[in-house]
Each structure stands twice: as structure tokens, then as C-alpha cells.
Structure 1
Amino acid sequence: MGMTISALAKAGGVGVETVRYYQRRGLIGTPDRGAGIRRYDAGDVRRLAFIRSAQGAGFTLDQIGELLQLDAGQDRARARALAAERIAALDGKIAELQAARSALERLARQCHASQEGPCPIISAFDRDGVTMVSGSG
């Protein structure tokens, strides 16, 4: 006897609505109602685990859908291409985060170096003379 959608969701570490969303996206099948209730099996648990693992690697749901459609023995080139796209996106994000870290380090050094004038950290986030950090509210 299979598991209910709530048991599947629990096994996958997600909520029931997430499972339903994946079903609407075509990532997980929707079994027929047997005796009025849908039952899921170990294959559904594996598929849910695959989706969550691929999301952890940063793949989009569209890319995950494509990965799920690929034949593990025949479509290696496309799987590599999808991985290369993801690696390039990660490299871009890493560069962006490193630049943000460097800028914040510079601002922190400037703030520490002098007690005169406005704090460089706060001033950096000030737009049109209106400070984005407020003491009220």
C-alpha cells in the first residue's frame, strides 16, 4: 500500500502544497485515486529527492524538468550542457558576492578609520539624501 501525499511530502522534507505545485509543473505524477485517495510509492519519493537535490545545486524547475526527461544513458551531452550553464551562473553569482564583500570591507575600514563626518557604511545606502536606515518604526 502506498503513502498519502502528506507522507510523501514529509519524506521529501517539503509541504503538501509544494508536492502539488511540482505536480502542476509536471515534475511529479499525480496517481489515480484508488478507494478515494491518491497513493504514492518509492519512485515518487526518489523523484522528489531528485528535485530537491537539483534545487540545492541551483537548477531552476524548468531545468530540473528537462533533466528528468533526459535518458540517463543517452543524453549525457545535454546533462553536461545544463551543468555547464549552472556552473557559469554560479561563477557569476560568486563574482557578484565577492565584489559586494570587498565593497563592504572597504566601507568598514573607512568607518573604523575616522570618527569625523557621517558613517561611510550608512552613507553608502543613503539615496537622495534620505537614509535607508531609520531609528524609528
Structure 2
Amino acid sequence: MSENRGLRQKAGLPIGALAERTGLAVSAIRYYESQGLITAWRNAGGQRRFERADIRRLSFVMIAQKFGFTIAEIRDLLNSLPDGRAPTPADWRRISGQFRQALDQRIATLEKLRDNLDGCIGCGCLSLPKCALYNAQDRAGEKGAGPRYLMGDSPDDSDNN
């Protein structure tokens, strides 16, 4: 029985079966393959095959994209997973720790945006009467371009990052 299971795993999944299992279009799977997120191999008949572990990888890709991660960021995370075998729970814990850290940073930025949306975000516009006090002489602009206070600078910082 274990011999048969080994043969089934060796046969791999055709792209259509992978599409059915993940809910992705075949064209999306090909795109993710071209971006190095999954890797196909060819069977003896020359047909593209995928590992069952690619179901989980593609599920991770879909979740990560919903959270705003770029393909490059996702590829970096997935590159830390082993090739040639299904990731273990320990492998996924390690990658989820990296994912969690990035999510925590994004959550903190979103909370800061939400909490300061009606006030100065340090963009340097000086169009609100409050800006004359909060960002006098465009101190935020001395720290660099963009919404400095949303990006992590504080109006109380005395240095010019």
C-alpha cells in the first residue's frame, strides 16, 4: 500500500486538478509558476505536474495577496520553505512568524492612519489651521517626502531623519 501511495505522489497533480483544488484559473497558476512561487515538473509523457504541497503554497499566496503583500514579498517568504517535500508544521510556523511580523507592522500603520485620518499626517500641505501648530514651518518636510507622521516619524522628533 505504501508503494502505491508513493507512486500516486510521484505522479503529481495536473494543472487542472490544482486549479480545481485551489479555485484558481489555470492561467493564474501558470503566472504564479512564472513568478517562481511554485515549480512544475514534467512526467514521462511530458505533461506538467505539481506537488500536492503546491495546494497549500497557492492558498498562502491568495491569503498573502489579500493582505496586500507583493509577489516579490510572497516569493521571499516561500523561498524559505523546503523544495522536494511538503512543508512540515514547523516550516509553516517559521514562515507564519515572518508573516505575522509584517502583518503587525501593517496593522500598526493602519491603526495610526485610522486614528489620525482627520488630523495632520505630516504631509506638508499646511492647509489645515491645525497644521500651523502641529507642523509649523513644515517640520515634517525636513524629515523627507510623504506623510512623515504616518510613516513613523513623530512631530516631537528633534532630529531630521
Whether 1:87 and 2:97 are equivalent positions in the alignment is no
Post-superposition offset of 1:76 = 7.5
Change (3 A) 1:91 1:17: farther
Alignment of 1:1-137 (within 5 A): 1-70=11-80, 78-88=98-108, 90-91=110-111
Post-superposition offset of 1:24 = 0.9
Query: TM-score normalized by structure 1?
Result: 0.55
**DSSP 3-state at the match of 1:39:** strand
**1:79-134 alpha-carbon deviations (Å, 9 max, x no partner):** 44422343245447757999xxxxxxxxxxxxxxxxxxxxxxxxxxxxxxxxxxxx
The amino acid that maps onto 1:68 is L
Query: TM-score normalized by structure 2?
Result: 0.48
Q: How many residues were matched structurally? A: 99
In structure 1, C-alpha distance between the alignment counterparts of 2:92 and 2:113, rounded to whole Å:
29
In structure 2, C-alpha distance between the alignment counterparts of 1:67 and 1:75, rounded to whole Å:
6
In structure 1, C-alpha distance between the alignment counterparts of 2:110 and 2:50, rounded to whole Å:
34
Change (3 A) 1:37 1:49: same
Structure 1: runs of 5 or more not aligned? 99-137
CA contact (8 A) 2:77 2:95 kept: no
CA contact (8 A) 1:26 1:65 kept: yes
In structure 2, C-alpha distance between the alignment counterparts of 1:8 and 1:74, rounded to whole Å:
25
CA contact (8 A) 1:4 1:40 kept: yes
Identical pairs, percent: 37
Post-superposition offset of 1:34 = 2.9
Which has more helix, going by share of residues? 1
Change (3 A) 1:36 1:25: same
